[in-house]
Amino acid sequence: MCSFCLHRSLMPRTLESQITLEKTPSYFVTQEAPRRIFNMSRDTKLIVVVRNPVTRAISDYTQTLSKKPDIPTFEGLSFRNRTLGLVDVSWNAIRIGMYVLHLESWLQYFPLAQIHFVSGERLITDPAGEMGRVQDFLGIKRFITDKHFYFNKTKGFPCLKKTESSLLPRCLGKSKGRTHVQIDPEVIDQLREFYRPYNIKFYETVGQDFRWE
């Protein structure tokens, strides 16, 4: 059986009036994914959540550090030579944030109209607004509204209520929402400068300014 046929067979059975969703953090940066998904269904709509690549890298490092406390420092992993400003793009936490490079692979198979980009920052500050735009992109009625969200001050993230009257909102698990490791501001500035041209090209390609500078 072909790999994409097997993948499709694992999806739940749905009616024509229903939409099947699958989520994973790895597809967007996996080189083989665009071709395989296209072969499975060229009409697939793609939703990508992006956030400030510097913040994303620090978050990635914080998550890894919680599991592997003996890893090198964030600075040590980020640079091949910090004095010369040479960023180590072989480190996955850095490379993932070079969004426009990954997007180029997807645009070889899917038109931009089939890809929707969600702002990770606005998903926190205005979850209903972002979800509204997602529902519009999918061509469905705006069912999820501001009544479905509750802000958790402890986590610093919104929680999703299963129903408008639900008393128990669904919040991030224990492994999410950790306080980020403190990073030297100069390191952050150097990474911002590194990402700037990639961010600008990404904004121009998708027609949306995420204001990460």
pLDDT confidence bin for 2, thresholds 50/70/90 = low
| Mean pLDDT, residues 186-204 taken together | 98
| Mean pLDDT, residues 151-157 taken together | 77
- Please report, rounded to a whole number, the percentage of residues in the chain having pLDDT higher than 90: 68
Per-residue confidence (pLDDT) for residue 165, from 0 to 100: 60
Closest CA to 188 of 3, 57, 29, 4: 57
Query: Phi/psi at 137 (nearest 5 deg)?
Result: -60, -40
| Mean pLDDT, residues 47-60 taken together | 97
Model pTM score:
0.88
| Mean pLDDT, residues 35-39 taken together | 93
pLDDT tops 90 at residue 148: no
pLDDT confidence bin for 85, thresholds 50/70/90 = very high
| Mean pLDDT, residues 21-30 taken together | 91
